[in-house]
Copies of this chain bind each other. A is one copy, B any other.
Amino acid sequence: MSITQEHAEDQNLPYNVFAKACPSRGTLEHVTGRWGALTLGALREGSLRFNELRRRVDGVSEKMLSQTLQALERDGLVHREAQPTNPPRVDYELTPLGHQVAGHLLALIRCVEDRMDDVLAAREEYDGRQN
């Protein structure tokens, strides 16, 4: 039995990230995780090679980027294309599903960036109240 069928038959409910056991929660974590969100956001601008992506997602380690890309590829959000060149060259790009998800993420990212002055003002106010 596939995971999809199992889920549907056990619960007879649509997917719901608020339920601990729903597989959608894991996917939400992949796309919103520390590096997942930035990786998807970076790929929204176009396909990138591993090292280009590593430079764009400032601060990510090689290992974490590999793991992030693998989870996103497995979830069908990123397509990995190995070019038959010497040395081998690997490009990563968003799938149509990845584009849709990354579009929502970028809207969220831009909102956070746009409102950072308000966030920092709130932090100062909060910290002032604690002292």
Chain A residues proximal to chain B, CB less than 8 Å = 2-4, 7, 14-20, 23-24, 27-29, 31-34, 37-38, 41-42, 56-59, 73-77, 97, 100-101, 104-105, 107-109, 111-127
Contacts and interface: CB of A to CB of B under 8 A. Distances in A.
Given A18-B56, A74-B126, A101-B112, 12 more contacts: A2-B120, A4-B120, A15-B112, A17-B38, A18-B58, A24-B113, A28-B112, A31-B112, A32-B108, A97-B115, A97-B119, A100-B111
Contacts of A4: 117, 120-121
Nearest to A57: B18
Contacts of A77: 119, 122
What is the count of identical protomers in the complex? 2
